[in-house]
Amino acid sequence: MSDDDTPPPFNGPPPIRISRRTLLLGIGALGIIGAGGYWLTEGQSQNLGSAFTNPLRIPPLLESELIDGERVFHLTAHAGDTELVPGTRFGTMGFNGTHLGPTIRAARGEHVRVHVTNALSMPTTAHWHGMILPAAQDGTPHQSIHPGDTWTAAWTVDQPPATLWYHPHPHGQTELQVGRGMAGLFLIDDDAPVNLPTEYGIDDIPVIIQDISLQPGGTQPGTPTTAPIGRIGNTVIINGTYQPHFESTTGLVRFRILNASTARCYNLQLSTKEAFHLVATDGGILPSPVALTSLLLSPAERAEILIQIPSDEDIVLRSVPHDLGMSQGDNITSGADDTLELLRITRPITRRTDRSLPASLPASLPASLPATALPQPPAISIERHFTLGDTTINGKTMDMDRIDTLVTAGTTEKWMIINDSDRAHNFHIHGTQFTVDTVNATPPAAHLRGWKDTVFIPSGNTVELIVPFSSFADAATPYMYHCHLLWHEDQGMMAQYALTNGQLAIAPDDDEHKSHH
């Protein structure tokens, strides 16, 4: 593997970067460098991925029962202690365990029912991020589950195959709970044949990326850095695995990547510098694979990528320096200058006899994919503008009792999101999958031409989104839209929309700038 590139020069003291002295001490005295992702100090280049030997954990698939035509699942939120790093326990939270949650799978057309029990000592919720469903089933702060209680969500899955996820959404406490590990995947399937790897845990691999904080030296939990985008850890874990290694039995693997970090962005790249292929964005499969050599994933975004894995070569999936569009100092505290090793991938020549290996797995890159048609722009009913401040949307912070935006159910709107602050943000809308129409008034790059529910918006940037809203009118129960940098969200960078039957054109306090077409 080639690792001959050096990170770009940096100016100023990097707050979480481990100094060369600590780095050398770490190697010499402890045999570790103190971080699951490694920070290469200035001018350094090392083949660090070779330290990654812990087998990648695969979140179990959640069992379900079919009862009266419904697929029924059970989740329980727990707190506990988890040895996230060998020898070091962290205070964690999870679903059906003390860290992360099982993978939920359901097919398009199925009626699902999920019973969620709160065994925490604080209120929580279970939000189905990316799901198109009635607002009362969405698990927002309005569907709070008190300690000891069980809340049940039920809906019909009716959207294209996608990698969605679930996480808590308690008012003001989302960063805490997600940061401690409350996150799981929710995969949607359908009956149509798909020419992509589909064997869960074999060639269809979940990759849930979170950052945690270790004290330098690596023996105790540490304190995250406070950055303009939120709290930044110094150690990356994948599916809860420290320094993970995935040993592939096939030459083509689909990785379903979720950035479940509260603030940190990752700029994905392969150590070989070879292209990987993006085959799905947040809400579904693309019309054809998009070859990329890097991909920036902000919190809550998903990417399904195909990686071709040659025999007997180490490939390291890593995150490389990127530009979050802030000042250089803010970029650095926000982690944008870090080089992080995420996952080592190998494929041994002498393959162990694997009983579970299915007979025929796709080995080559598909030329086209069974994508679902994207919405056609013409039918836009209304255009709205949202301006992002440091922790505000249109100058306001979240008020549970204020519905900011009334949308006529079943219509498609154009939402223009303007990041007018010095901070990087992203923007997530509940209850829909949208498309990106423009980025700074120009057509979006290829990796943004699919279904999305969360879009990254650097400082000074403007995106226009085409947002098709569902027909689940319920004027009394709002959905959320917000920045998914969770510290910003908890600070109030969130607002509410409700779907109406169209009887109320403008709510009394709906003071957005609007233009009717």
Residues between 292 and 321 that touch ligand C2O (CB under 6 A) = 300
Using CB under 6 A as the binding rule, whether residue 180 contacts ligand C2O is answered as: no
Question: Are 225 and 216 in contact, with CB atoms under 8 Å apart?
Answer: no
455 SS3 class: strand
* Minimum distance of ligand C2O from residue 186's CB (angstroms): 11
**Residue 425 touches which of ligand C2O, Cu ion, none (Cβ within 5-8 Å per kind):** Cu ion
Looking at beta carbons only, is 237 or 417 nearer to Cu ion?
A: 417
Using CB under 6 A as the binding rule, whether residue 169 contacts ligand C2O is answered as: yes
Choose the stretch contacting Cu ion; rule: CB under 5 A; options: 59-67, 291-299, 459-467, 477-485. Answer: 477-485
* Dihedral pair phi/psi, residue 143, rounded to 5°: -115, 50
Using CB under 5 A as the binding rule, whether residue 322 contacts Cu ion is answered as: no
Task: Count residues near Cu ion (CB under 5 A).
Answer: 6
* Residue 332 φ/ψ region, left for φ over 0, alpha for ψ in the -120 to 50 degree band, beta for the rest: alpha
Q: What is the bridge-based pairing of β-strands 111-118 and 127-129?
A: unpaired
Tokens of 253: 């693997």
Looking at beta carbons only, is 465 or 480 nearer to ligand C2O?
A: 480
Looking at beta carbons only, is 18 or 493 nearer to Cu ion?
A: 493
**Residue 253 touches which of ligand C2O, Cu ion, none (Cβ within 5-8 Å per kind):** none
From candidates 132, 183, 278, 485, binder to Cu ion by CB under 5 A: 485
Q: What DSSP element (H or E) covers 79?
A: strand 70-85
Looking at beta carbons only, is 78 or 482 nearer to ligand C2O?
A: 482
Looking at beta carbons only, is 170 or 240 nearer to ligand C2O?
A: 170
Question: Are 152 and 195 in contact, with CB atoms under 8 Å apart?
Answer: no
Distance from first CA to last CA of the chain, Å, rounded?
Answer: 55
* Minimum distance of ligand C2O from residue 495's CB (angstroms): 11
Tokens of 85: 């790093």
Handedness of CA 392, 397, 400, 403 (dihedral sign): negative
Looking at beta carbons only, is 135 or 324 nearer to ligand C2O?
A: 135
Using CB under 6 A as the binding rule, whether residue 106 contacts ligand C2O is answered as: no
Looking at beta carbons only, is 17 or 484 nearer to ligand C2O?
A: 484
Q: What is the bridge-based pairing of β-strands 127-129 and 340-346?
A: unpaired
Looking at beta carbons only, is 37 or 228 nearer to Cu ion?
A: 228
Return the number of other C-beta atoms located less than 10 Å from residue 201's C-beta.
14
**Residue 169 touches which of ligand C2O, Cu ion, none (Cβ within 5-8 Å per kind):** ligand C2O
Using CB under 6 A as the binding rule, whether residue 127 contacts ligand C2O is answered as: yes
Strand partners, 204: 200, 254
* Minimum distance of ligand C2O from residue 432's CB (angstroms): 12
Cα gap 388→377, rounded to integer Å = 24
Cα gap 239→210, rounded to integer Å = 8
From candidates 129, 245, 414, 452, binder to Cu ion by CB under 5 A: 129
**Residue 344 touches which of ligand C2O, Cu ion, none (Cβ within 5-8 Å per kind):** none
Using CB under 6 A as the binding rule, whether residue 17 contacts ligand C2O is answered as: no
Beta strands in 420-453 (DSSP E): 425-429, 435-439
* Minimum distance of Cu ion from residue 354's CB (angstroms): 37
From candidates 256, 302, 384, 425, binder to Cu ion by CB under 5 A: 425
From candidates 78, 167, 277, 384, binder to ligand C2O by CB under 6 A: 167
The helices-and-strands tally (H runs, E runs) of the chain is: 4, 34
Cα gap 320→470, rounded to integer Å = 38
Residue count of the chain: 517
Cα gap 34→7, rounded to integer Å = 20
Tokens of 308: 């071709």
**Residue 488 touches which of Cu ion, ligand C2O, none (Cβ within 5-8 Å per kind):** Cu ion
Instruction: Find where tokens 């481990």 sit.
Output: 18
Using CB under 5 A as the binding rule, whether residue 430 contacts Cu ion is answered as: yes
What is the x/- site pattern for ligand C2O, positions 386-425, by CB under 6 A? ----------------------------------------
Cα gap 453→415, rounded to integer Å = 13
* Minimum distance of ligand C2O from residue 12's CB (angstroms): 33
Residues between 454 and 483 that touch ligand C2O (CB under 6 A) = 480, 482
* Minimum distance of ligand C2O from residue 100's CB (angstroms): 15
* Minimum distance of Cu ion from residue 56's CB (angstroms): 26
Cβ-in-10-Å burial (0-12, 13-18, 19+) of 503 comes to exposed
Cβ-in-10-Å burial (0-12, 13-18, 19+) of 357 comes to middle
Query: Which residue ranges make up the site for Cu ion (CB under 5 A)?
Result: 129, 425, 430, 483, 485, 488
Give the interface with ligand C2O as residue ranges (CB under 6 A). 127, 129, 167, 169, 300, 428, 430, 480, 482, 484
